[in-house]
Amino acid sequence: MTLSGEHLGKRFEARRGRRDQPTHTVAVDDVSFALPAGTTLGVVGESGSGKSTLARLALGLLAPSQGEVRFEGDPLTGFDRARRRAFRRAVAPVFQDPRSALNWRHSIETITTEPLVNVRDGNRRSRRERAARLLEQVHLPRRVLDQRPAELSGGMLQRVAIARALALEPRYLICDEPLSALDVSVQAGVVNLLLELQAGRGLAIMFISHDLAVVRHISDRVLVMYRGRVLEQAPGRAALPHPAPPLHPAPAGPAGLRLGSRPPVAELPAESHGQRGSVVTAYQNRQRLLHERMEQRGVDLVFVPPSGDLEY
């Protein structure tokens, strides 16, 4: 049960421009990845390194110029309509900015249930119940159903976007910089939520970010991209049983990717949202999840102090 890409390439032809302009951009160049069920693949890289293009290839929204995306072993290109529909249900996107990804004229109920309507799942009443349950899973109160995006904070909107992504019970979430448009104060809450959903549902997550500290912290594997290529692939730090030498001896080249220079996510204040998510419980939840993950892997527990780096 894996979503994978083999030697993916994506080249964009430039529109007819001046003669001295390049005729094409190679956005993704010979990138292979594997996202097994229930795991997190972190993708980091500076702006323009091809992360979003990789995400769109993985979602089947773009056709690769080279290589192929495989869904549970089989290339997407060979899918008939039924298999394509199953793929669309199984692999769901979460985009960077929920403010632009969600329709502002619609109620949160309509937004959350739209994927269900699209596949003619249930009736109005059953869908409202489903929407309420989805909101519960992302720790939003039921009253949000009747609100509109303009009434919610960025963090709450990203939770709505995640609830919507979960509507068809996907097994893979492709999250393209899901924190970047959010206030720093709510970022940890969204990370906690994704980890929690993963632990509860066995979701596989492709987590794209330009923040290596967060990615390294939550990922089983990390793929570092630079100018469309994979600069490095390494296990996420949290997966390592022993103190490891720095995973990323500062590679020459990528300016703007300052490795390990940001505080770990534990340092970020947790989000206060609704009645349930106090700062303290969000922090404790994250500790519990981390410990569970460590135990599952049979490695030493990791202690994450409220400030400072990971300690083993």
Ligand X SMILES: Nc1ncnc2c1ncn2[C@@H]1O[C@H](COP(=O)(O)OP(=O)(O)O)[C@@H](O)[C@H]1O
Cβ proximity to Mg ion: between 51 and 286 the closer is 51
Cβ proximity to ligand X: between 53 and 192 the closer is 53
- Among residues 39, 40, 49, 52, the one that binds Mg ion under rule CB under 5 A: 52
51 touches ligand X by CB under 6 A: yes
- Report d(CA 65, CA 10) in Å as an integer: 5
- Report d(CA 248, CA 259) in Å as an integer: 7
- The nearest distance, CB 282 to ligand X, in angstroms, is 28
- The nearest distance, CB 166 to ligand X, in angstroms, is 23
From 46-54, 113-121, 148-156, 232-240, give the range in contact with ligand X by CB under 6 A: 46-54
164: partner contacted, choices Mg ion, ligand X, none (Cβ within 5-8 A by kind): none
209 touches Mg ion by CB under 5 A: no
- The nearest distance, CB 49 to Mg ion, in angstroms, is 8
Cβ proximity to ligand X: between 52 and 187 the closer is 52
- The nearest distance, CB 258 to ligand X, in angstroms, is 16
From 52-60, 143-151, 197-205, 244-252, give the range in contact with Mg ion by CB under 5 A: 52-60
Residue identified by tokens 């080279």 is 66
Cβ proximity to ligand X: between 189 and 254 the closer is 254
**Which residues from 96-135 bind ligand X, rule CB under 6 A?**
none
What does residue 188 show for φ and ψ, rounded to 5 degrees?
-60, -35
x/- site string to ligand X, residues 24 to 43, per CB under 6 A?
-x-x----------------
Cβ proximity to ligand X: between 48 and 274 the closer is 48
From 51-59, 183-191, 245-253, 256-264, give the range in contact with ligand X by CB under 6 A: 51-59
In the complex, the residues that contact Mg ion under the rule CB under 5 A are 51-52
